[in-house]
Every structure is written in C-alpha cells, then in structure tokens.
Amino acid sequence: GAGVSQSPRYKVAKRGQDVALRCDPISGHVSLFWYQQALGQGPEFLTYFQNEAQLDKSGLPSDRFFAERPEGSVSTLKIQRTQQEDSAVYLCASSSRTGDSPLHFGNGTRLTVT
Amino acid sequence: AQTVTQSQPEMSVQEAETVTLSCTYDTSESDYYLFWYKQPPSRQMILVIRQEAYKQQNATENRFSVNFQKAAKSFSLKISDSQLGDAAMYFCAYGRNSNSGYALNFGKGTSLLVTP
C-alpha cells in the first residue's frame, strides 16, 4: 500500500483479555516503531525494530507487552491480560532506513479496555 | 532523558492570520533533530517540518517556519496565512540518532483552532 496500515482501527477488550494489534509498514521500510498515545498526551515510545531485529524495547511498560516482526515487514504488538490503563491509541511508524529518514505514521489502533 | 515541553495546551487563530506555537526541550546532546507533527482527528501523525540541530538556518516549508534557538533550547513553529485545514493537534518532538534508530520524544501537544 501507499502508507502505513494498522488494524483494527478500533478494539474493545474486556479486562484480562489478550489483544493483538497489526502494523503493515510501507514496503521496503527497514525501521519500524510502536508508540502508545494516552488520551490528551503525546505519543510515547514503546519499541523499535530494524528489519526483524528488535533493537530497543525499553519503552514497553510491562512484561504483558510483546512485539514481533518475524520477517522484517509486518509487525504485531500483543498485550496480554489487558488492564484499563492500557487503553490508548497505539501508533505504528516506519522509515526507509536507520538514521534521520522521516517517519511515516499509520492511523493507529484505539484500544479501549472495559 | 530528553524532555519536550509545550506550554500552550490550546491556541486560536483567525483565518489568514499568523500564529506561533511554542516548544522547549531539555538535552545534553549536541547532535539531534527537532520536529513538528500535525495530528488531525484521523489520528495520523503528519510531519510538518524538521530541523537538524547542527544547522543554524531556520527550516521553512511553505507557510510553516521555525525559530530554532539552540542555546535557549527553544523550537517554535510559526504558521503564516492560517487556513481552516491547519486546525489540529500539533506536537513538537525531539529525535536523537543512535544505534536504536531515533525514537522520538513528544511534547503533550497544542490544540490549534482556526476560526473563519
């Protein structure tokens, strides 16, 4: 596709359920980032991939959060045993190479945990 | 850790007028990048303008320009000839190139309202 695609656009989960959020980056983009954006806040860094390697996961808030990018393209962010504080918009971004190339963001997935 | 502060939660401007959004940041690094992103209700973050810290010349992109004051760690965005389509959340962001790519630190945002 022409841009970064994220699915689903909206997700409602009951507390304790597991969820999986998908990101399709722009074809050929090496770098992929996940961000979490709470209501009324700016996005916060979660994790970074260079191809299939997860080089930085320092922003993941707990061990309930797990991200993967097994073939260096599509990435999945999984949240286990969701809690209400996990409610946020999850943004994915990709760029064509490492370094200072611009980030292209998707439209995000709005997760609501009830 | 690098922090980004946007002290204006909300700003308003009349169509065709000029508005300036403020941003300050804190860092001990000398090599970094600064960005302004626009986020409309669609939620997609759209890059408005970026500035490399090593460049003294302020970046400009059509109606958008920045005032980059490195010593003061200030990075304000000026929007000239404001248009209704400029209404959105605006986020200032700091990026540092590293072996982990460059994860951006964002401010809390400024909501820009454009009135006819």
Name which of A43-57, A85-99, B47-61, B92-106 the model is least confident about. Answer: B92-106
User: Checking DSSP bridges between strand A109-113 and strand A19-24, what pairing results, if any?
Assistant: unpaired
- Indicate the DSSP class of residue A97: S
Q: Is A86 helix (H, G, I), strand (E, B) or coil?
A: helix
Chain B nearest-CA distance from A42, in A, is 4
How does pLDDT run across B47-100, given as a tens digit for each residue? 999 998 988 899 999 999 999 999 999 999 999 999 999 999 999 999 876 655
In this complex, is the C-beta atom of A33 within 8 Å of any C-beta atom belonging to chain B?
Answer: yes
In this complex, is the C-beta atom of A44 within 8 Å of any C-beta atom belonging to chain B?
Answer: yes
Chain B nearest-CA distance from A92, in A, is 10
Q: What is the pLDDT of residue B101?
A: 62
Q: What is the pLDDT averaged over residues A82-111?
A: 89
Burial of A42 (0-12, 13-18, 19+ CB in 10 A): buried
Q: What is the pLDDT of residue B42?
A: 86
Q: What is the pLDDT averaged over residues A88-92?
A: 97
In this complex, is the C-beta atom of B10 within 8 Å of any C-beta atom belonging to chain A?
Answer: no
Cβ contact A15:A7 at 8 Å: no
Q: Where are the beta strands (DSSP E) in B1-116?
A: 3-5, 10-14, 19-21, 24-26, 33-39, 46-52, 60-61, 64-69, 74-79, 88-95, 104-106, 110-115
Q: What is the pLDDT averaged over residues A2-18?
A: 96
Q: What is the pLDDT of residue B31?
A: 84
How does pLDDT run across B17-50, given as a tens digit for each residue? 999 999 999 998 888 899 999 999 888 899 999 9
Residue B56 one-letter amino acid = Q
B33-43: b (≥16 Cβ within 10 Å) or e: bbbbbbbeeeb
Q: What is the pLDDT of residue B77?
A: 98
Residues of A in contact with B42 (CB under 8 A): 107
User: Checking DSSP bridges between strand B110-115 and strand B10-14, what pairing results, if any?
Assistant: parallel
CA nearest to A68, candidates A8, A37, A112, A22 = A22
